[in-house]
Every structure is written in structure tokens, then in C-alpha cells.
Chain A
Amino acid sequence: MTAGTLLEVSHASKVFDVSPPWLARTLARQPRLLLHAVHDVSFSIRRGETLGLVGESGCGKSTVARLVIGLYKLSAGTITYEGHKIGALASGRIPRALRRKLQMIFQDPYASLNPRWRVADIVAEPIHAQRLVRGRRAIGARVDALLSQVGLAAADGQKYPHQFSGGQRQRISIARALASEPEFLACDEPTSALDVSVQAQVLNLMRDLQRELGLTYLFISHNLAVVHHVADRVGVMYLGRIVEIADKATLFRHPQHPYTRMLLDAIPDVAMSGESRIPVAGEVPNPLSPPSGCAFHPRCPFANERCRREVPQLGESPDVAALGAHDRVACHAVEERRLGSETRVRESPRKVVSDPT
């Protein structure tokens, strides 16, 4: 493990058994149904860095976040945090010292807070569980400090979650996540359920907190524009595998994998008004019965026989001049140099707008 690496995920896999109940299965003579949600995923995150994971539904990015945090057990592979192996342990058995360093922010601001608890109790729960601070007054003071750190008032602690808007609830979630003084935050689509202007507030807040507290983020999203804004490095997932992982600027300017290129083309970006696109056909296949070989081959204009047979491995791209040393892509066409390199240049729409702030 290189110095500065905080989290290392190595050949992680997660398989869910979604078979119908035993009796139904036996009577209907059906085989077990296994869902390979995450397959052979490897990446590392350095301290203070933000890794963005993008992909569409069924790609497994949320599962990866939960594996890293310890909510799911690994089916194969290892996850190492600061040198300690986690991931094969159920969440209950991660040592307390490590437990508090890894926290999560969830997507749904309405389901991530217990509607029957007061906000102050919600934020104080990790403090109690970790026994970081003792004494009612001290805990109360810490809760007030956390609330103001995320832009809420101390008096808000006495209210219930339903009295807050979606954006404010996400702030409460962030305050709760910060209560245990974590180093690493997995953020599972934290702004997807929020309005655009509220999303801006929350993203700015998260950036400020990262600077202030030296946090490391794993940021999951299906929204490429958001990931472009927050991440340092970006990984693209498709049907349980990472197909490309690179430095942000590189990925958005010189996308290698055909799926990445397709995703970038598909963004309805304000900068593209007036330009027509040719969207790629087809839909994400059913994860229960993935295509053979490379999962993307049915939709890929560059697929050949090898793509149908062999699963491509994450490797370095031959076009090293354009890429950084740690950038990887899993594609036969790239490896065989069948793909022309492309540069994407986009015009910012913001030239004329005056920034009010």
C-alpha cells in the first residue's frame, strides 16, 4: 500500500442470493438465482481525496459504498482501511476505533432520519455509541456545535425531522455523520433527491467541511455534472464492474471506454443547447442475466468476437501520453488500439451571466 492511501479495495465481489423461497423453488424446479452486484472491483483512495463513482441503475455503485462502510459483507476480495482488513467482517464486529472513522451519508433525506426522534437526539446518537464525550451538558454542547457547523441553529435540535426541508435534513444527516469525528465519508447520491439550488448549498457545504476537517470522500452519483464538480478521480461502473477509472480531467476530456463516451454524450447539458446527438441504443441489461464476455458488448459499436467471449480486465491504456499513471480502462478495443482517441471540448454557458455573489 502506497503512502497516503487510506482505503484500498482489491478484487471485491458481492453476490446476493435472490432465489425464490426454498419450497417454491423445489416445486417449480428452478435453480438458485444469484445476483452478482459487484464483480472484481479494485480501486484505492488517498487521504483527503474524493473518488467519484458513476454509473446507471444496476451498476453496483451503491453496493460498493455499502461494502466499504461495512453494511454488507464481502463475498470475495479484501477491503483495507489504514492497513486494517475490514469488509469480511459483519458491521458489528469492526473494532470500535475503526467504526467511528467510516461514516455514510444516504440518498433519501426523508428516510435517513428517524421521524420519531428529535434532531438533537439523532445527532447525539453516535456520540453516545462511541462514548466520545460524556455528560449531558458536554454532549449538548457538541451537538450544538455540529448543528452550527452545518449551517443550522442550535434551537433546531428540539424539532422533529418533518419540520425541515429536504436540504436541511441532509445537513442534519451530515451533522450526524460528523458526530463521531470520522475520517472517511461514503456519500451515496447525497444530493440526488434535492432541488438544484439546494444541491448547490449542500455540495458547497461538503466541500468546505472537507477542507476544514481533512475528510476523504467516496462520492456515488448517477449525475456526471455533479461528480465532475466534486471529485478528484472518477470511476465508471457498468453492471457490477469498473470499466474505467481515471483522474477527473482526463476522464472528461479523453474518455477511453465506449460506455464512458456514451455517458458523456448523453448528459443533457445546458452547454449543449442546439447541438444534436446520436444517443446509443439499447438499455442496461438485467443484472440477473448479464451478457457473456464484456457486459457492454450488445450496445457497443466497437464490439468484436473477443468482446463477446472474454471479459476485459482493468488495465492501463496504450495511449499513455494522454493519461496519468494510475488511470485504467477495461476494454478490448482500447487495448487493441481499435478506438480513436477523442477530445471533448465544451463551451461553458456562463460567459454572459454575472455571478451575484
Chain B
Amino acid sequence: MSVRRSPHPDPIPDGQREPSASEAGEGHALLDVRHLRIEFPTRRGVLTAVDDVSFAIGPGEVLGVVGESGAGKSLTGAAIIGLLEPPGRIAAGEILLDGARIDDLPDEAMRRIRGRRIGAIFQDPLAALDPLYSIGSQLVETIRTHLPMSEAAARARAVELLQEVGIPAAARRVDHYPHQFSGGMRQRVVIALALAANPQLIVADEPTTALDVSIQAQIITLLRRLCRDHGTAVMLITHDMGVIAETADRVAVMYAGRIVEIGPVADVVRAPRHPYTIGLMGSIPSVADDRDRLVQIEGSMPRLTAIPSGCPFHPRCNRAFDRCVRERPELLDAGTSLAACWLHSRAAV
């Protein structure tokens, strides 16, 4: 009987212990998001979907952004890629890529950045691929848009990419159409498309949610390996904490449009500091434990039209006190991670 443990656990390379959000602006960071605020004007007034969100991603780092539906993580990703759908708009804050602002660029300039320096992977591979064109022609189009290559060279590179993402018989399948691939294969093609122009950063929004469990594992492993090989940073947006635990170096937990906790993955997962994160980790069932009841956070995430004052989590928090209702907490130092919670304030309450 063998106890199943992997003989070669992947260490988290020291070089990737990148600056945390509090050190943003060091010049180290590849992507620097500062005080981002996304608003939606509606007939009921202006709704703030993302409120004062700041974080940084270093080159080659994997940052997981986790949260439940309505937390604003997808919107943040969309804003970074420049695909925020109107009437949503960036109302405040800055997004810097390699030190230069990209949130205020005109469409044409943003289009050049998208693909060349920032790649995107979405949840539904069917939506990302045009059903009328072969994947080869879509790959070639992306490659030639961003890199100076001849048609033949681009095609060779396309086949190379397909091999890299694990599509069998790539040379033959490069001329196939999206509907001729299965779900998992399509997502691999989407990854190939995202990596085609060798971007510095990939924004992946729920890349494995629509896939079967066994395919999920394959895609996660692939994504991790490729990004490590190419040195690409990843912003991995998902609601699945397990995927984050496997893939990310750091994780940011979002709630009601704000980051409530951010820190190294191992710390946040094993020793969360914010009451929401504590509740969240406790409510995830695991094959490793045998509990009678899961931790239950009463209530649900507030709607955008009714975000509570002060700390947005206070109505559901069993450790809330006066200050939580009055004042919105900033991200405070809580050991190895940061948590937006007055419990970690050293000032007198």
C-alpha cells in the first residue's frame, strides 16, 4: 500500500514572491491597478460595482482573484483588458501596464495592447472562437496582427502553439473549425490564441468553470506550465478556491466590489484573516474532512443598490462592532497578508 503523495511537489520559486499590493508602484510591478472604481449609471442612480480596488501583479506571477457572483471580479478583469461594456465605465483610478497608463487609451491603441501584451481567456470557449473560420486562420490572424511575420511563418508558429497546448495531430487539425473540437480541446485552442503573440499578462476569467473535472485538471496544469515556461503573468479570476490553491502565488478575495483580503495563497487558504474569508473557507466542503455542518454565513452578498455603510460585510459578520458600521476599513496589515477589517487595526477602537 502506498501513501499517495507526489514525489516532486512544486516549490513556489523565490523569484516569484512579488511585491504585494502595499508595495505597488515600486516599478517592479507588471500590472498596477490603483484605486479602480467602476460605475454603472442606471435610472435608479449610479451603482458602484467596483469600489477602490488596488493590487499589483509582478512579471510571471499568478494572482488569483476569487469571489462570489456579484463581487466585481469579472468587471475588474474586463476593465483591465479594456472590454468593459457600456454603460459601465471606469469612474476613477488608474491601470498601469509596465508603468504606463492603459485605462485612458483610445480604442485603437487598446486594441494593439490587447493580444500583444495582454491576452484573455474567457469562460466559454465557444464565444471566444469564431465558428466560421478555421482555428488556424484565427491563430494566424492574431499572430500577424501583433508580430511581423509572413503568412507561412505565422502558420508554422500556429502549429507550434497547438502542439504546445497539447492538441494531437496539430499539423492536420490546424485547419479544423471550432465545432470539430470538444470542449476541453477548444479551451486549449483559446489558450493558444491568448499566448499567440507572447503577451506579458493573461487575464483568465473562469477558464475552467464550464469544463468537466478531469479536463479542468488538465487545463490548469497546462496553463500553469505554459505561463511558467513563457514567463507570463496571470490574473486568474474564479469562484473556485481549489483552482486558486493549485495555481496561484497570491490571492485577492473580493466582496461587494472591494478587496477584503490579499496575500500569499498558502497563508490566505490555511489561515485567513478576514471574517468573510474565514467563513468562505469554512463553507467549502472538502474530501479531506468529515464535518456534520458546513460553516454558514447568514444572508447573502448585498445587491449593488443596497451596499451597507462602513464595512460592506458587517451585517453578516458575527464579530462586527461600532466602527465597522461607521467606517469603511482599508487594507490593513494582518501578518503575512492584508485584510480590510478593523479587527486588525492597532489603533484604539
Contact = CB atoms under 8 A, between A and B. Distances in A.
B213 to A, nearest CB: 5
B300 A347 contact: no
B246 A272 contact: yes
Contacts of B240: 268
Contacts of B288: 269, 271, 346-349
A350 B269 CA distance: 9
A350 B281 contact: yes
Contacts of B184: 283
Interface in B1-36: 1-6, 8-12
A341 B297 CA distance: 40
Contacts of B246: 268, 272-273
B39 interface: no
A271 B4 CA distance: 14
A56 interface: yes
A356 B295 contact: yes
A229 B214 contact: no
A330 to B, nearest CB: 18
Interface-central residue, B182, B213, B283, B292, by most chain A CB under 10 Å: B213
Contact of A266 (B182, B183, B216, B318): B216
B68 interface: yes
A198 interface: yes
A284 interface: yes
Interface stretch (B154-162, B190-198, B271-279): B271-279
A226 to B, nearest CB: 5
Interface in B154-200: 182-185
B140 to A, nearest CB: 26
A201 interface: yes
A1 interface: no
B42 interface: no
A266 B283 contact: no
B102 interface: no
A348 B10 contact: no
Interface stretch (B120-128, B143-151, B217-225, B326-334): B217-225
Contacts of B270: 349, 351-353
Contacts of A204: 293-294, 296
Given A273-B246, A357-B295, A349 B217 contact: no
B2 A200 contact: no
Contacts of B44: none
B265 interface: yes
Interface of B: 1-6, 8-12, 68-69, 182-185, 212-218, 220-221, 239-243, 245-246, 265-266, 269-272, 275, 278-289, 291-298, 300-301, 318-319
Given A222-B213, A266-B213, A280-B214, 20 more contacts: A168-B300, A196-B239, A200-B294, A200-B296, A200-B297, A201-B296, A207-B292, A225-B285, A263-B214, A267-B287, A268-B217, A268-B242, A271-B288, A274-B11, A274-B266, A276-B6, A283-B183, A342-B2, A343-B2, A353-B281
The 4 closest A-B pairs by CB, nearest first: A200-B283, A268-B242, A346-B288, A273-B245
20 contacts: A56-B213, A197-B296, A200-B283, A200-B285, A225-B286, A228-B287, A229-B294, A252-B287, A263-B213, A264-B287, A279-B214, A343-B3, A343-B4, A349-B270, A350-B282, A353-B271, A353-B272, A356-B275, A356-B278, A357-B295
